[in-house]
Chain A
Amino acid sequence: MATEASEIEREIERAAESLPPPETLAALARRRLARELRALPSEGSAAWRAALLAEAPAGASLGALAHAIRASARAGRMDEARELFVALLRRTDGLNRRWVATALRGLPGAPDERRERAQDLAQELALALWRRVGLGDDPAWELFFQRALDFTQRKVATTWLRRQGLRADPRVERAERGLALVFSQFEENAPETALPVEPEAATLASADLADLRALVQRLPERERLAVVMRYWQRAGEAEIAAALGVTTRATRYILRRAYRRLRLWYAGASDEGASDE
């Protein structure tokens, strides 16, 4: 057992050592963007616009498009900025629709009302994007556009829901659905491998996955990391223990506490008692 744990520890160490420092990753992204921008025709020309508006995948990256929108707005070429900004909204429409569906999931309302809410959210997001991409100067939007978009979508949804008097995670109060399958994989004495999942049950699990994601984000950091490693990556106790720098016994305790907290939240209760053993 101890040998297995130390082998896992060594594997993690080896994998970690192969990862470059964050500043190197950011520098690589900078170089990639600079290369792409250099390859474009001169800024503001018709050829430049055409290159930026070209169909993907031959077209510019979203980061280059963000760069161009900013450049156009700064130069006061607002018609051009508008055209490029609309192109950006169109290219990210798939991501934005998925985000809207997730944000509105679980909210009550007739179809018309949901459509109106979706349009409200789309408006909020477009305005937020303009502030960040068109007016701001945060390089994240040029270097890691999709990650920055993902983060901003979450911020916009949370703020919007709060303003509407709605909870950011309404499922917390709506615990009527059973989560037997999800929690069967969390059982304290379950073997290291996941239980077999029937296709029908997998659908249930995936439907409940959004609930689980919302709740996992509320866990204290160590419990959150342990649950994400255990459920999302099927990590064993030894791997989790090595990653958190604790013993396997402590890992079991952390997981038990997290599951108890999640169960209580699903039941609509506060997390009082979650830390009791």
Chain B
Amino acid sequence: MSDTFNGQDDGALDLDALAVQERFLEEWRAGKRPRLSAYLRRYPQHAAALAALVAALPPDTLAGTAQEPLAESFPERLWTGAGVARALAEIFGPEPAGHEAPRVAEERAPYQTPADDAPRDE
């Protein structure tokens, strides 16, 4: 899995690969149907990263028939759960007294379609 990664586990990500992926996604989100073939021609050094990205998107073979349902979503919020609380305690120590979680809206997932917007558990 070296598609966008340079070096060891906490090493730097490959900025160029991420930039190329992002460009592809921008076109895809804009409904331009970018072709992997053209991207491979232009950026052969990022073939693995591009293939991984395209494979993560809904396939065109399902287009016009039925929308790919959102991958089974995990219904519980994670950021208020025990796992994140344990991580925060490990990083920052015990939660400060009277601390209140900030109110910030979740950002739409990059591959989310308008139909997927309905269930929000703010």
Measuring CB to CB, which residues of chain A are less than 8 angstroms from any residue of chain B?
A: 12-13, 15-17, 19-20, 22-23, 25-26, 29, 53-57, 59, 62, 78-79, 81-83, 85-87, 89-98, 100-102, 104-105, 115, 118-124, 126-127, 130-132, 134, 136, 138-140, 143-144, 146-148, 150-151, 154-155, 158-159, 185, 194, 196-199, 202-203, 205-206, 209-210, 213, 216-217, 221, 224-225, 228-229, 231-235, 239-240, 242-244
Give chain A residues whose Cβ lies under 8 Å from the Cβ of B5. 151, 155
Question: What is the bound-complex CA distance between A67 and B23, given in angstroms?
Answer: 22
Give chain A residues whose Cβ lies under 8 Å from the Cβ of B118. none
Min CB distance A83 to B, Å, is 6
A–B Cβ pairs within 8 angstroms, 18 of them:
A13-B41, A25-B23, A57-B105, A91-B107, A94-B109, A97-B75, A126-B83, A126-B87, A134-B91, A144-B19, A147-B4, A150-B56, A155-B9, A158-B1, A196-B65, A202-B66, A239-B37, A243-B41
Question: What is the bound-complex CA distance between A203 and B4, given in angstroms?
Answer: 31
B78 within 8 A of partner (CB): yes
Interchain CB contact under 8 A, B10 and A22? no
Give chain A residues whose Cβ lies under 8 Å from the Cβ of B47. 221, 225
Chain A, interface SS category: helix
| Known interface pairs A16-B38, A16-B41, A232-B55; A89-B12 also in contact (CB < 8 Å) | no
Give chain A residues whose Cβ lies under 8 Å from the Cβ of B79. 86, 89-90, 93, 96, 122
Question: What is the bound-complex CA distance between A48 and B98, given in angstroms?
Answer: 22
Interchain CB contact under 8 A, B102 and A94? no
Interchain CB contact under 8 A, A90 and B102? yes
Give chain B residues whose Cβ lies under 8 Å from the Cβ of A242. 37, 41
Give chain A residues whose Cβ lies under 8 Å from the Cβ of B1. 154-155, 158
| Known interface pairs A90-B104, A197-B66; A25-B84 also in contact (CB < 8 Å) | no
Q: B43 contacts which of A19, A62, A140, A148 (Cβ < 8 Å)?
A: A19
| Known interface pairs A13-B41, A127-B91, A233-B54; A90-B71 also in contact (CB < 8 Å) | no
Give chain A residues whose Cβ lies under 8 Å from the Cβ of B18. 26, 140, 143-144, 147-148, 151
Give chain A residues whose Cβ lies under 8 Å from the Cβ of B21. 144, 147
Q: Which interface residue of A16, A56, A131, A155 has the most chain B CB atoms within 10 A?
A: A16
How many B residues face the partner with a CB closer than 8 A?
A: 78
Interchain CB contact under 8 A, B105 and A56? yes
Tell me the nearest residue of chain B to A186, going by C-beta. Answer: B61
Interchain CB contact under 8 A, B73 and A138? no
Question: What is the bound-complex CA distance between A140 and B11, given in angstroms?
Answer: 11
Give chain B residues whose Cβ lies under 8 Å from the Cβ of A55. 103-105
Question: What is the bound-complex CA distance between A146 and B20, given in angstroms?
Answer: 13
Interchain CB contact under 8 A, B74 and A199? no
Other than the given A126-B91, A147-B4, 20 more pairs (CB < 8 A) read A12-B35, A15-B37, A22-B19, A25-B16, A26-B19, A29-B19, A86-B79, A93-B106, A98-B70, A118-B76, A127-B90, A143-B15, A147-B22, A148-B13, A158-B1, A198-B65, A202-B68, A206-B66, A243-B36, A243-B41
